[in-house]
Amino acid sequence: MFNLILFGPPGAGKGTHSIRLMDQYGLVHISTGDIFRAEITNKTELGTKAKAFMDKGELVPDEIVLGMLFSVMDRFNDAKGFVFDGFPRTIVQAEKFEEMLEVRKMPITLVISLDVDDEELIRRLVKRGLESGRTDDTEEIIRQRLNVYNKQTKPLLDFYTKKKLLHSIHGLGTIDDIFNNICKKIDFI
C-alpha cells in the first residue's frame, strides 16, 4: 500500500496536486478540509464544531479530526493507498496518526512538502476567496492561518525529515511542472 502525505501551507497547491495524484496513481484522496466543508454544508454536528474553529483560522481538535479521518478510510478497504491532503497538521496528530496506521499495517511511504513563500500564498488565497466565496479566505484569516501553520504545522518538517520520509518541492511555477516534479519523487521510491 502506498500512502503519501502532501504537506505545505494553506494555498500551496495541496488540493490541486492531490486530485491529480489520485488520478495518476489510483490513490484515494483524503482532504480533512474538504470533509469538514462537506460536514459544514450538511449542517452536521461535526460540521458545526469544525466551523467554529475554522472561521477563526484555528485548527480543529485532534480527536475530531482523527475520528473523522479513520471513519473515511474505513470506507476504502481495497484501496491501493491514500494521498493525505494537508494532514497531519501537528506533531501530536502525526504521532497519533502513525500509531493508528501501524495498527492497520499501513505505514506512510512518502511525505512531500510544497514550499511557497507567504506573500504568494496570500495572493493565491485572496484570489481563491474572491472566486469561490470561501469565508476563510480573507487576508486577515489567511495571515492567522499562516501563523498557525508556522507555529503548529511547520515543525512537522523536522519530524518527517528525521524519519527520512520528507522530500521538498518548490511550489512555484506551472501546475504541470510542479506536478511532474512530485511524480519524479514518487516514481523514484
Predicted pLDDT of residue 183: 97
Catalytic residue among 128, 143, 154, 185: 128
Catalytic residue among 20, 51, 124, 145: 145
Identify the segments of the chain with pLDDT beneath 70.
none
Catalytic site includes residue 145: yes
* Total count of residues recorded for the chain: 189
Q: How buried is residue 30: exposed, middle or buried, by Cβ count under 10 Å (0-12/13-18/19+)?
A: buried
Residue type, 24: Q
Catalytic site includes residue 89: yes
Beta strand spans in the chain (E):
2-7, 28-31, 81-85, 110-115, 166-170
Predicted pLDDT of residue 85: 93
Pick the CATH number of 2-182 from 3.20.20.140, 3.40.50.2300, 3.40.50.300, 1.10.357.10: 3.40.50.300
Catalytic site includes residue 134: yes
Predicted pLDDT of residue 67: 80
Catalytic residue among 20, 51, 89, 124: 89
Starting at the edge strand found earlier in the chain, the sheet holding 81-85 runs 28-31, 81-85, 2-7, 110-115, 166-170
Catalytic residue among 123, 134, 143, 154: 134
Q: How far apart are CA 36 and CA 34, in angstroms?
A: 5
Catalytic site includes residue 14: yes
Distances (CA, A) of 48 to 40, 56, 142: 6, 13, 21
Q: Whose grid coordinates read 461535526?
A: 46
Domain boundaries, the chain: 2-182
Could you read off the pLDDT of 19-73 as tens digits, one per residue? 999 999 999 999 987 888 888 888 988 788 888 887 887 878 888 788 888 888 9
